[in-house]
């Protein structure tokens, strides 16, 4: 135990973690990649507010990187969880919730005739890839370069521990680029098993790009011509862009889609939705995990889908996102600072002009954090149904202060430079 009282609880936990966890923390949740002052460890969450281990409270614009769509600790979800927990979670087989959820989910998602459940988004994208290969008897999968599909060797952003063989049958193209897509299809030849696309381009550190309709239609047409699987990775955007699969908004249905994050309002659950064309293939692959059919997260998911289904969830998320976007745009204009706000308003990325090293973004978000708002300097953010107009207005007071500090800093730099 560290007895140094000058340390914050967060610093103390980081020091302890460093001794027993490689690097103290790995992956996307590593606060070392964030401006100084960002907490690594959290105590609790309620609605759109989160509290760190030092008792600081923030308005949360990350929603646990997507999973929390109704708000932290949502009463109807927690009630369903408690009810299921009292009955049992991990048993010798699934509970009734398994069938109820598959029925509800396949009703909600237009292209879905069946569903399979897993735990993480990586499980779901990997199952999609495997089903596509099993169903077509082919090997090549086309993916957009820079797109995130998970954290295992076939798709991890880090090449540490990854062999060329792990990715031997992937072919890359640029998202929304029809020529690049056609070249990749030609390279796959008669070995094309599928094309995997994210709902829109949401690569970290870049402006987001919505999927162009002609791009989506061409991907669909190619998969039809070649008898390959169109796979939409809806892990991040699922349930925030549409009530069903995100590409439904473009009039395009995939054969397979991968889901996780918002599916169970923060409880660990992923799903693959598929059409009848791949039902046989989905029965032949070995798709399982010790916790994949556990009941609690399925109860959470049923409650989440029911709450979302009872209101205009997409309209609400869009409106609340637009309120924030409009406020940020007005502040940026007032302070004469160039910002780019991209992606759907309910999943915004905010990047600054002339900010290749994200220094402006770091200063801005660090200052917003000091004023009680948890933003992300490089990644897309997320709104939840628990964000109210008053929360957005409170957050905008904080971002106004952050813009002021950034403007002063830039002015000082101009004078010195």
Question: Which is it for strands 140-144 and 192-198: parallel, antiparallel or unpaired?
Answer: parallel
> Toward ligand PMP, which CB reaches closer, 28 or 340?
28
Identify which range of 36-44, 117-125, 290-298, 320-328 contacts ligand PMP by CB under 6 A.
117-125
Q: Which residue has the tokens 């430079």?
A: 417
> Toward ligand PMP, which CB reaches closer, 40 or 120?
120
Q: Please, what's the b/e burial string for 237-259 (b: 16 or more CB within 10 A of its CB; e: otherwise)?
A: bbbbbbbbbbbbbbebbbbbbbb
Does the protein bind ligand PMP through residue 144 (CB under 6 A)?
A: no
> Toward ligand PMP, which CB reaches closer, 11 or 209?
209
Ramachandran region, residue 95 (left: φ > 0; alpha: ψ -120 to 50; beta: rest)? beta
Q: Which of 121, 244, 348, 377 binds ligand PMP (CB under 6 A)?
A: 121
The number of beta carbons lying within 10 Å of the beta carbon of residue 263 is 30
| Helix (H/G/I), strand (E/B), else coil: 57 | strand
Does the protein bind ligand PMP through residue 197 (CB under 6 A)?
A: no
Q: Which of 118, 120, 208, 313 binds ligand PMP (CB under 6 A)?
A: 120
| Helix (H/G/I), strand (E/B), else coil: 354 | coil
Q: Which of 40, 64, 84, 198 binds ligand PMP (CB under 6 A)?
A: 198
Does the protein bind ligand PMP through residue 125 (CB under 6 A)?
A: yes
Does the protein bind ligand PMP through residue 260 (CB under 6 A)?
A: yes
Distance CA 108, CA 417 (A): 57
Work out how close the CB of 414 gets to ligand PMP at its nearest, in angstroms, rounded to a whole number: 38
Measured in whole angstroms, how far is the alpha carbon of residue 135 from the centre of its chain?
Answer: 27
List, in order, residues 6 or more apart from 276 with CB less than 8 Å away. 113, 114
| Helix (H/G/I), strand (E/B), else coil: 351 | strand
Identify which range of 6-14, 145-153, 243-251, 387-395 contacts ligand PMP by CB under 6 A.
145-153
Q: Which of 10, 203, 233, 391 binds ligand PMP (CB under 6 A)?
A: 233
Q: How many residues line the site for ligand PMP (CB under 6 A)? A: 13
Beta strands, E only, 186-299:
192-198, 229-233, 256-259, 270-274
- Nearest partner of 120 among 205, 232, 236, 202, judged by Cα: 236
> Toward ligand PMP, which CB reaches closer, 150 or 321?
150
Does the protein bind ligand PMP through residue 235 (CB under 6 A)?
A: yes
> Toward ligand PMP, which CB reaches closer, 58 or 148?
148
Does the protein bind ligand PMP through residue 49 (CB under 6 A)?
A: no
Q: Per DSSP, what are the bridge partners of residue 256?
A: 231, 274
- Name the closest residue to ligand PMP (Cβ): 121
Contacts with ligand PMP by CB under 6 A lie at 120-122, 125, 148-151, 198, 233, 235-236, 260
């Amino acid at each position: 135990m560290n007895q140094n009282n000058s340390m914050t609880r967060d610093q103390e936990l980081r020091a302890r973690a460093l001794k027993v966890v490689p690097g103290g923390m790995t992956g996307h949740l590593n606060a070392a990649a964030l401006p100084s002052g960002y907490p690594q460890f959290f105590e609790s969450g309620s609605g759109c507010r989160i509290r760190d281990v030092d008792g600081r409270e923030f308005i949360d614009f990350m929603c646990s990187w997507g999973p929390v769509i109704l708000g932290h600790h949502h009463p109807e979800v927690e009630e369903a969880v408690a009810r299921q927990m009292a009955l049992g979670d991990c048993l010798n087989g699934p509970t009734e919730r398994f069938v109820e959820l598959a029925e509800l989910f396949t009703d909600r998602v237009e292209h879905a005739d069946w569903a399979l459940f897993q735990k993480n988004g990586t499980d779901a994208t990997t199952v999609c890839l495997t089903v596509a290969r099993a169903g077509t008897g082919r090997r090549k999968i086309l993916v957009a370069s820079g797109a995130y599909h998970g954290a295992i060797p076939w798709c991890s952003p880090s090449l540490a521990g990854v062999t060329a063989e792990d990715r031997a049958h992937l072919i890359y193209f640029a998202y929304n680029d029809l020529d690049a897509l056609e070249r990749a299809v030609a390279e796959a030849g008669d070995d094309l098993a599928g094309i995997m696309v994210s709902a829109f381009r949401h690569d970290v550190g870049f402006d987001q790009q919505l999927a162009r309709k002609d791009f989506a239609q061409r991907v669909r047409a190619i998969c039809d011509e070649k008898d390959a699987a169109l796979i939409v990775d809806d892990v991040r955007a699922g349930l925030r862009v549409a009530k069903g699969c995100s590409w439904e908004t473009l009039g395009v249905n995939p054969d397979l889609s991968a889901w996780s994050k918002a599916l169970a309002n923060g409880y660990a659950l992923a799903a693959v939705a598929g059409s009848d064309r791949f039902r046989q293939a989905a029965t032949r692959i070995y798709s399982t995990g010790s916790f994949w059919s556990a009941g609690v997260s399925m109860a959470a998911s049923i409650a989440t889908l029911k709450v979302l289904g009872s209101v205009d969830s997409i309209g609400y998320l869009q409106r609340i996102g637009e309120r924030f976007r409009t406020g940020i745009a007005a502040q940026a204009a007032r302070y004469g600072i160039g910002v780019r706000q991209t992606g759907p308003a309910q999943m915004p990325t905010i990047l600054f002009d002339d900010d290749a090293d994200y220094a402006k973004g770091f200063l801005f978000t660090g200052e917003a954090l000091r004023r009680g708002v948890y933003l992300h300097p490089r990644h897309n953010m997320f709104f939840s149904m628990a964000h109210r107009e008053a929360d957005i207005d409170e957050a905008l007071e904080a971002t106004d202060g952050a813009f002021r500090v950034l403007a002063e800093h830039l002015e000082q730099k101009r004078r010195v430079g």
